[in-house]
């Protein structure tokens, strides 16, 4: 019995030594800062290279290492009018290494209008912030002679471009046709982003295009569009084109139903947002939001961004973005129904 007791004691002592050694050799936890310094992050663009989101992603990625010490690559995942890329980020592993960039209105429209293939839910994304908020404007093909919306109202059969019917171009193009009573206007959808619909405008395949101001300026510079927009979709004039009237000025009195449509449009003004999948650990969320704030405040980032977005405003915080998301997703169902009816009418002509 004594031998057995001694043996048991010896075994216990041996295990204690082994376990102690294992505990001592266990690596210390990696800090969030070291995690990002030692890993490559990816930012997903839901469209082909060349558009505003691609430019924004590459600008952001170029300053990533300055703040984190790590690297970032840009990955273009196209398909479904941008839906596939957004779904990819939504379903990505929540390790903090996959981010996305997109236009907030486009993302909202996809969910609110229940577009086919949408698998994401806006209030579940991890929002980092937004930048490049811009006024939308109406660009007219340089092949057309009209200089005002009043002149345009006398033209029949105008065609306007859109990537998908319920994205920004389709919605605002339809809203323009409806509120200004453009005769037999119709939507031409299926363009993969503003870069392609802009080319169509330059070729004369479509007559007008609604897009954020920076994109409209680019179309003007390339002589795809007339020398200035015909209208800005805002309640205040753009400092870039102070002579161009706003839609609010041109339509001072509208029906209550049309006013709802205008209010919806104003609530979904253009802004690029950067986001991550749901379920990120709190320490990584804090780190990423801080990194975003530092990057968009850097002089080099602002200077580069202004080459594309000359009407550069103050960036949005994650709380700002969350508030905008809640405002639109909480709209009365009848507003959404009316917008869908409007878009379907022009898409089917």
Query: 89: closest CA among 48, 49, 119?
Result: 119
Q: Which two tokens stand for residue 326?
A: 């809640």
Domain membership flag for residue 154: yes
The per-residue pLDDT for 339 is 86
Q: Do 342 and 213 share a structural domain?
A: yes
Q: Do 181 and 140 share a structural domain?
A: yes
The per-residue pLDDT for 20 is 55
The per-residue pLDDT for 18 is 45
The per-residue pLDDT for 135 is 82
57/43 Cα distance (integer angstroms) = 7
Q: Do 105 and 40 share a structural domain?
A: yes
Instruction: Give the total number of structural domains in the chain.
Output: 2
126/274 Cα distance (integer angstroms) = 9
Q: Do 214 and 104 share a structural domain?
A: no
46, HSE (Cβ side, Cα atoms, 13 Å)? 29
Token pair 């004369």 in the structure block, residue: 204
Going from the C-alpha of 148 to that of each of 226, 258, 308, 320, the distances in angstroms are: 11, 21, 26, 35
The per-residue pLDDT for 297 is 96
Looking at residue 55, the DSSP 8-state letter turns out to be H
Token pair 């209208």 in the structure block, residue: 231
Q: Do 229 and 304 share a structural domain?
A: no
229/213 Cα distance (integer angstroms) = 9
> The dihedral of CA 130, 132, 138, 140: what is its sign?
negative
The per-residue pLDDT for 17 is 47
Q: Do 170 and 118 share a structural domain?
A: no
The per-residue pLDDT for 16 is 53
Domain membership flag for residue 108: yes
Q: What is the CATH number of the domain that holds 260?
A: 3.40.190.10
Q: Do 140 and 112 share a structural domain?
A: no
pLDDT tens-place values along the chain, 349 residues long: 555 555 554 445 454 544 454 545 555 678 999 999 999 999 999 998 988 899 999 999 999 999 999 999 999 999 987 899 999 999 999 999 999 999 998 899 889 888 889 999 999 999 999 998 778 899 999 999 999 999 999 999 999 999 888 878 898 999 999 999 999 999 999 887 788 899 999 999 999 999 888 889 889 999 999 999 999 998 888 888 999 999 999 998 888 888 888 877 877 778 899 999 999 999 999 999 999 999 999 999 999 998 888 777 789 999 999 998 998 888 888 888 888 898 999 996 6
345/349 Cα distance (integer angstroms) = 7
Domain membership flag for residue 5: no
Using alpha carbons only, give the angle 117, 271, 198 rounded to the nearest 5 degrees. 75
> Could you tell me the residue range of the domain that residue 252 belongs to?
136-267+338-347
Q: Do 299 and 257 share a structural domain?
A: no
Q: Do 166 and 106 share a structural domain?
A: no
Query: 17: closest CA among 7, 27, 6, 25?
Result: 25
The per-residue pLDDT for 90 is 98
Domain membership flag for residue 186: yes
The per-residue pLDDT for 310 is 74
The per-residue pLDDT for 9 is 44
Q: Do 253 and 166 share a structural domain?
A: yes
Domain membership flag for residue 81: yes
Q: Do 156 and 190 share a structural domain?
A: yes
Exposed (0-12), middle (13-18) or buried (19+): which is 166, by Cβ within 10 Å? buried
276/278 Cα distance (integer angstroms) = 7
Domain membership flag for residue 142: yes
Q: Are strands 71-76 and 208-212 parallel, antiparallel or unpaired?
A: unpaired
Q: What is the CATH number of the domain that holds 99?
A: 3.40.190.150
Q: Do 279 and 261 share a structural domain?
A: no
Domain membership flag for residue 4: no
- Asked if 131 and 272 count as a contact pair (C-beta separation under 8 A), the reply is yes
3-state secondary structure of 26: coil
| β-bridge mates for residue 208, sequence order | 140, 160
Domain membership flag for residue 161: yes
> The dihedral of CA 202, 203, 207, 211: what is its sign?
negative
């Amino acid at each position: 019995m004594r031998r057995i007791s001694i043996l048991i004691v010896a075994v216990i002592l041996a295990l204690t030594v082994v376990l102690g050694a294992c505990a001592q050799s266990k690596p210390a936890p990696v800090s969030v800062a070291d995690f990002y310094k030692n890993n490559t992050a990816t930012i997903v663009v839901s469209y082909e290279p060349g558009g505003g989101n691609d430019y924004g992603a590459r600008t952001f990625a170029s300053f990533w290492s300055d703040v984190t010490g790590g690297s970032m690559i840009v990955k273009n995942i196209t398909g479904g009018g941008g839906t596939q890329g957004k779904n990819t980020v939504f379903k990505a592993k929540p390790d903090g290494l996959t981010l996305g960039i997109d236009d907030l209105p486009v993302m909202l429209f996809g969910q609110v209008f229940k577009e086919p293939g949408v698998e994401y839910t806006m209030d579940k994304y991890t929002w980092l912030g937004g930048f490049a908020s811009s006024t939308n404007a109406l660009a007219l093909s340089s092949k057309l002679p009209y200089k005002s919306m009043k002149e345009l109202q006398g033209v029949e059969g105008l065609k306007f471009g859109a990537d998908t019917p319920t994205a920004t171009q389709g919605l605002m193009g339809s809203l323009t046709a409806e509120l200004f009573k453009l005769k037999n206007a119709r939507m031409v959808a299926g363009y993969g982003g503003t870069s392609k619909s802009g080319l169509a405008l330059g070729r004369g395949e479509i007559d007008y295009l609604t897009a954020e101001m920076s994109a409209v300026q680019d179309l003007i510079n390339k002589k795809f569009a007339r020398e200035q927009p015909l209208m800005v979709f805002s309640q205040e004039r753009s400092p870039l084109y102070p002579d161009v009237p706003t839609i609010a000025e041109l339509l001072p009195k509208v029906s209550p139903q049309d006013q709802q449509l205008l209010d919806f449009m104003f609530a979904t003004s253009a802004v690029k947002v950067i986001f991550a999948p749901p379920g990120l650990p709190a320490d990584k969320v804090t780190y990423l939001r801080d990194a975003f704030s530092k990057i968009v405040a850097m002089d080099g980032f602002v200077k580069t961004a202004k080459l594309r977005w000359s009407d550069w405003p103050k960036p949005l915080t994650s709380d700002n973005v969350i508030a905008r998301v809640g405002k639109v997703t909480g709209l009365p169902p009848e507003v959404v129904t009316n917008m869908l009816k409007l878009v379907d009418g022009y898409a089917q002509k």
